[in-house]
Amino acid sequence: MKRAAIYARVSTPDQHLENQILDLRKLAAQRGFEIVREYSDRGISGSKAKRPGLDALMADARRGEFAVLLVAAFDRIARSTKNFLEIVDELNSLGIEFLSAREAIDTSGPMGRMFITMVGSIAELERSLIVERIKAGMRRARLEGQRLGRAPLDIDRESLVRDRLSGMSLTETAKRHRVSRATVVRLCHDAQRQRVASAA
């Protein structure tokens, strides 16, 4: 008997979650699934990526708490196509079957597997397009003479290292040169490495 979870969501507090939950329990019984977890979000739009019930569901999915997820319809999981694809793609990568009652999609069957393949391809295409847009933006910025990456520190490194080595505290050195404590540590380590390399 497969361990299953169900997820239900309603957009407004006056709507009833129970209708979805009862239908999903019935569907699980018909398929011979054992429901081990039930998750829900009440009064939260599907356009919001962060939802307490959904977040708990995904955390348990990553821990392998269940093997099948049942929902009443695609739009219960997410209103955004991008967010929906990300969720289904991750469930697939975790080996979790996805079953939607309204759309009659069951990823354990051949049509469902084809659907998952399409979802994975679309998600991969989206990631590739994002990477390509970032690269194009960086190329344009270079052509326009813009500096990319972190700006170089405009400080007297030798003076900073001298202050630190003379006994000034880490906090005092950082305040005096207007940098973080981590930067003080890094610059002192760099100076020490340079001295060792020069001596060798």
Q: Where are the domains of the chain?
A: 3-125, 157-199
Q: What's the pTM?
A: 0.57
pLDDT, one tens digit per residue, over 120-137 is 576 667 778 888 888 888
Element of type H or E holding 158: helix 157-165
Selection from 1, 117, 11, 17 nearest residue 71 by Cα:
17
Q: Which residues are catalytic?
A: 11
Element of type H or E holding 17: helix 17-31
Residue 193: per-residue pLDDT: 84
pLDDT higher for 113 or 70?
70
| Weakest mean pLDDT among 18-32, 75-89, 167-181, 183-197 | 75-89
Distance CA 147, CA 42 (A): 47
Q: Which CATH architecture has domain 3-125?
A: 3-Layer(aba) Sandwich (3.40)
pLDDT band at 1 (very low <50, low <70, confident <90, very high): confident
- Strands, DSSP E only, in the chain? 3-10, 34-42, 68-71, 97-100, 105-106
